[in-house]
């Protein structure tokens, strides 16, 4: 049952001044369950409890943390159908997606469990002493990653499970040894409540300290602001809009003690169509992209919102087929009336820009909260001179920019804001003739794709989900994949420290049998 | 000869509106050479040139960059005696220190050359495709570190070579593939000029692109502000005061595109004296610290500015010996009249705080710009309640805090700001009885030392020079050691990219023979 209360560590707190309800976009009405808005003092309590929990949780072995993460996965699965129905009721997303996203969430938890159990992630480095060195002896130094402290996590509207309460940010922070406080997303707060209950159950049954996890409900900005400015919070993870992520980044930067904010804020994910690719496969590429643009009602952060190519008759074929195909796609519901509202407003704004023409506009009447796809087109000059057109229109929308020549195409790429992804469609290896385009694109993106679609973000060590600002606030880290744990740790060096008091990872006898860099050489040997 | 001109890439620019001179604190008079203040348009020129140079320099092989770094070392050595005499004339530091610091600077350049030539530092990660995977095929993903872009470097007053023009920040950024613009430190701008000339010579002789390095003179804050806010600058390295570092951090955070700032801002480096250590070695420890506190006129960022212990008769012995020994140390000159002025002001401010008593105060008359050492003492309560006493007094100063008991000692440690280092003096393994003190200290520092002194920062992979704010603005990175290169890179993923177009580090055949993580396993094998 969804009581809607706030989880302050292991305690389910009933006190609240106001409540709110989530919304079912398919039924176009509010859901029944009532969520209790967290109070400022509850924010402080959760943060203080997290700081207390950090003292022990930061020292718990990788094996024990792995047991906790796996127990979370088990408890989430045990929520069964209630989780799936709540998910669909709060997002409008289909049941198959709920099942798929739950699978991804569980897989992420297991991936981090395996990662910290293996133990190499601490990047242990040992330089042994040289007491006889001249002119001064060399000391013994040993370095290891240790957790930063309590992390505040802000979930995404578009991934109620995989990028929310027990999503990638939470899983990676808990894996690192950081307690987590989730500011639950107001659009799927019931889903968040259920997942939070599962995490708390798992924490209790595996003996984790009280405060290792809290979940706070809020449909305003106050709770989030209080969290980010609370001195007990040492880092922030966020997935969402540029406005939201930047506001949190600014708050964190103004603190007396600034803290790192990793905000993944999406992008328009440019697609570059090379001439021979258009000549040979205009129709096939158009059909592929009609699907990619409308996938999940265009609500993926890697949605292809910008298509770039040099003018040609083959580009005309592409735009014709794209226009035909995309209106054949059956419209689907968006996550929330506010999101549909923003989509309609942003579409209208794009259409009102000088030089923007409609390529395809789904005109039929649709049910409430359904999104009607739109593709526009513009010439290169107009696009270059109007940065409004460079901004994301969240939903099933894309703009085709028709460039005068390769130089203009290259210039446009180099003037784009930072992007999560960039894609090049190439006929065989024609890409070899366009090194400047490739270089310009590499400079602007976190992931560069050859002959594919950017939607679909594989969870694996080599994934980089992030990119130059505003794709993310710190391009040096990824939000997806096991390396996302690096956001929440800092190295510490031990100098001449007694062997038996060192963390196990740094002891001479290497009891955890991990890979370490010893005097510059990577090895699992003892000392 | 020191012409004092600005190096804008390979060009030595004579245009300037104002000039300034450096100061010889030993002779207590200005040096002869005149430095030309860089103009705002020169800042823009240098940044634009660096952005242009980045396009090619970012793609140059590790081997070629290593050749460049080694050529810098050779050219610095070729400056010979002129560099040493300029260094001593601008810092008052002795010739032996100049030689030692030059050696450290050259060693750092060689260490980075070796590091990038070995090539493992790019953290290449490969996950191969699984086209047959169900329900969806797995794509081929390959990840590698790539440079961020042009870096602005602000050198330190107290290390005219090793943390300045060709110091750790510059060496690590150039190694990463980032062009560097140095805002030369005004106190040793002549030294900086000579080193900059050496870097430019090395760049030209090894065929590096024009703009890979620039050096700008300034004795005001404007040039630095313009640099940090210039859109072509993508990261900042700084070593200096909290006020200076924080100002640059704030500017960078307010940019339309915020950029990472790594500022190493020093700390008071607490020393904890455990009871048995005092009982057994009060006199020896006191003598050791009398030397450490006054080493280099107390001008190291790891200078021990805070000594903590529980009250006892042995602590009284320690303070007595420390007081006797420290006044025996012959006073030495500080870097600059401004630094002596700040030292005298900060000492007076500390002495004016309620409850602060003098333990030892060097009273004899000294030559101009010489620092008179001071050690004060205070009880635990007073220290806890007056954060003014927690701040650095840059120079040969330390404060001994006499705590009522272990709990108070632990509380004091936990309330300290972030520190570069923390040291515990322990008789044999008595430290085992104080886990809370160790844990509290670990939480506050970047490097934790057993029975030693914090002065002396070994350059090796396991060194962490940095720490929680305000020791540094981003505790996730180090300013010293080869891992400092990580500040200037971001990962990028290649998806389904053609093998022959991948960077060499990611190609199937592993032509550079580096270690890579392939499907989760670290190996140097081919695919």
Could you tell me the mean pLDDT of each successive run of 10 residues in chain A, 527 residues long? Answer: 96 95 98 98 98 97 98 98 98 97 97 97 97 92 98 96 97 98 98 98 98 97 97 98 97 98 94 98 97 95 96 98 97 97 97 97 96 98 97 97 98 97 98 97 98 91 97 97 97 98 98 96 95
Query: What is the DSSP pairing of strand B357-361 with strand B306-310?
Result: unpaired
Closest CA to A148 of A7, A46, A50: A50
Closest CA to A185 of A150, A216, A213, A151: A216
Q: Which of A101, A242, A491 to mutate to test the interface with B (most CBs of B within 10 A)?
A: A491
pLDDT for A383: 98
pLDDT for B115: 96
Closest CA to B322 of B262, B376, B268: B376
The pair of three-digit structure tokens given for residue A419, joined into one six-digit string: 């992007």
pLDDT for A361: 96
* B291 pLDDT tier (thresholds 50, 70, 90): very high
Chains A, B: CB pairs < 8 Å: 192
pLDDT for B456: 86
The pair of three-digit structure tokens given for residue A338, joined into one six-digit string: 């506010």
Active site residue A301: yes
Interchain pair A498, B127: CB under 8 A = no
The pair of three-digit structure tokens given for residue B132, joined into one six-digit string: 């047959």
pLDDT for A456: 86
- Residues of chain A contacting residue B491, judged by C-beta atoms under 8 Å apart: 446, 464, 476, 478, 483
Closest CA to A191 of A224, A152, A157, A153: A157
Would you call A489 an interface residue with chain B, using a CB distance cutoff of 8 Å?
yes
Instruction: Calculate how close chain A gets to B491, using CA atoms only, in Å.
Output: 6
Task: Give B233-293 as a DSSP string.
Answer: --EEEEES-HHHHHHHHHHHHHSSS---EEEE-----EEEE-HHHHHHHHHHHHHHHHHHH
| Among chain A residues, CA nearest to B434 | A501
Has residue B135 got a pLDDT over 90? no
ipTM of the complex: 0.97
How many Å is the Cα radius of gyration of chain B? 25
- Residues of chain B contacting residue A146, judged by C-beta atoms under 8 Å apart: 442
Q: How many CB atoms lie within 10 A of CB B503?
A: 18
Interchain pair A486, B476: CB under 8 A = yes
Extract long-range pairs of A403-409: CB within 8 Å, 24+ residues apart: A403/A308, A403/A309, A403/A310, A403/A311, A403/A379, A404/A310, A404/A311, A404/A379, A404/A380, A405/A310, A406/A310, A406/A434, A406/A436, A406/A437, A408/A310, A408/A380, A408/A381, A408/A384, A409/A272, A409/A308, A409/A309, A409/A310, A409/A380, A409/A437
The strand order across the sheet containing A306-310 reads: A357-361, A374-379, A397-403, A306-310, A270-273, A419-425, A445-450, B489-495, B141-147, B125-127, B516-518, B521-523
Q: How far apart are the first and last CA of chain B?
A: 55
Distance of CA B96 to the CA centre of its chain: 21
* B266 pLDDT tier (thresholds 50, 70, 90): confident
Option in A258, A431, A439 nearest B469 (CB): A258
Has residue B276 got a pLDDT over 90? yes
Distance of CA B124 to the CA centre of its chain: 27
Would you call B96 an interface residue with chain A, using a CB distance cutoff of 8 Å?
no
Distance of CA A348 to the CA centre of its chain: 28
Would you call B468 an interface residue with chain A, using a CB distance cutoff of 8 Å?
yes
- Angle between helical axes of B95-118 and B168-176 (0-180°, round to 10): 20
Would you call A449 an interface residue with chain B, using a CB distance cutoff of 8 Å?
yes
The pair of three-digit structure tokens given for residue A66, joined into one six-digit string: 């792995």
Residues constituting chain B = 527
Would you call B248 an interface residue with chain A, using a CB distance cutoff of 8 Å?
no
Per residue in A304-327, pLDDT tens? 999 999 999 999 999 999 999 999
Count of CA atoms in the C-beta half-sphere (13 A) of A215: 30
Task: Give A454-518 as a DSSP string.
Answer: S-----STT-----TTTTBS-TTS-SSSGGGGGGGEEEEEEES--GGGS-GGGSTT-TT---EEE
Q: Please tell me which residue, A366 or B135, carries the higher pLDDT value.
A: A366
* B420 pLDDT tier (thresholds 50, 70, 90): very high
Q: Which residues contact B469 (CB under 8 A, 6 or more apart)?
A: A257, A258, B417, B418, B475
How many Å is the Cα radius of gyration of chain A? 25
Say how far apart CA B168 and CA B485 lie, in whole Å. Answer: 9
The pair of three-digit structure tokens given for residue B249, joined into one six-digit string: 């951090």
Has residue B102 got a pLDDT over 90? yes
- Angle between helical axes of A168-176 and A62-78 (0-180°, round to 10): 150
Would you call B448 an interface residue with chain A, using a CB distance cutoff of 8 Å?
yes
Closest CA to A121 of B10, B427, B517: B517
Say how far apart CA B416 and CA B270 lie, in whole Å. Answer: 9
Q: Which residues contact A308 (CB under 8 A, 6 or more apart)?
A: A270, A271, A272, A273, A400, A401, A403, A409, A412, A413
Say how far apart CA A480 and CA B283 lie, in whole Å. Answer: 55
Say how far apart CA B403 and CA B89 lie, in whole Å. Answer: 44
The pair of three-digit structure tokens given for residue A294, joined into one six-digit string: 């409308």
């Amino acid at each position: 049952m969804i009581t809607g209360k706030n989880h302050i560590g292991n305690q389910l707190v009933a006190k609240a001044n106001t409540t709110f309800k989530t919304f079912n976009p398919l039924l176009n009405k509010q859901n029944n369950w009532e969520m209790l808005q967290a109070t400022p003092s509850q924010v402080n309590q959760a943060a203080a409890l997290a700081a207390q929990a950090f003292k022990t949780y930061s020292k718990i072995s990788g094996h024990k943390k792995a047991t906790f993460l796996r127990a979370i996965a088990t408890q989430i699965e045990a929520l069964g159908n209630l989780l799936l129905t709540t998910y669909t009721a709060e997002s409008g997303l289909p049941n198959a997606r709920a099942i798929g996203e739950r699978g991804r969430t569980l897989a992420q938890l297991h991936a981090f469990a395996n990662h910290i159990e293996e133990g190499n992630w601490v990047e242990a480095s040992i330089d042994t002493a040289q007491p006889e060195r001249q002119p001064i002896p060399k000391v013994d130094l040993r370095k290891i990653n240790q957790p930063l402290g309590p992390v505040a996590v802000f979930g995404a509207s578009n991934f109620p499970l995989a990028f929310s309460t027990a999503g990638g940010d939470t899983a990676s922070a808990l894996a690192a040894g950081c307690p987590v406080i989730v500011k639950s997303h107001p659009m799927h707060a019931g889903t968040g409540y259920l997942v939070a209950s599962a995490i708390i159950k798992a924490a209790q049954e595996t003996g984790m300290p009280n405060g290792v996890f809290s979940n706070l409900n809020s449909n305003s900005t106050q709770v989030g602001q209080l969290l980010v400015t609370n001195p007990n919070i040492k880092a922030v993870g966020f997935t969402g809009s540029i406005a939201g992520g930047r506001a949190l980044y600014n708050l964190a930067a103004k603190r007396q003690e600034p803290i790192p904010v990793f905000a993944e804020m999406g992008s328009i994910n440019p697609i570059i169509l090379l001439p021979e690719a258009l000549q040979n496969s205009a129709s096939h590429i158009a059909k592929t992209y009609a699907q990619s643009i409308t996938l999940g009602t265009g609500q993926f952060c890697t949605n292809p919102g910008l298509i770039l190519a040099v003018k040609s008759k083959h580009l005309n074929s592409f735009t014709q087929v794209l226009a035909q195909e995309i209106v054949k796609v059956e419209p689907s519901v968006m996550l929330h009336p506010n999101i549909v509202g923003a989509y309609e407003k942003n579409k209208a704004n794009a259409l009102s820009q000088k030089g923007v023409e409609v390529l395809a506009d789904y005109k039929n009447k649709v049910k409430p909260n359904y999104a009607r796809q739109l593709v526009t087109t513009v010439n290169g000059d107009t696009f270059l001179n109007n940065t409004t057109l460079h901004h994301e229109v969240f939903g099933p929308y894309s703009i085709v920019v028709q460039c005068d020549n390769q130089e203009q195409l290259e210039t446009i790429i180099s003037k784009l804001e930072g992007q999560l992804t960039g894609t090049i469609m190439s006929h065989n290896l024609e890409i070899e003739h366009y090194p400047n385009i490739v270089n310009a694109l590499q400079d602007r993106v976190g992931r560069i794709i050859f002959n594919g679609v950017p939607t679909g973000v594989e969870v694996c060590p080599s994934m980089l989900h992030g990119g130059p600002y505003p794709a993310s606030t710190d391009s040096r880290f990824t939000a997806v994949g096991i390396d996302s744990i690096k956001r929440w740790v800092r190295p510490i060096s031990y100098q001449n420290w007694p062997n038996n008091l060192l963390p196990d990872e740094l002891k001479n006898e290497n009891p955890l049998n991990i890979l370490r860099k010893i005097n510059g050489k990577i090895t699992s040997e003892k000392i």
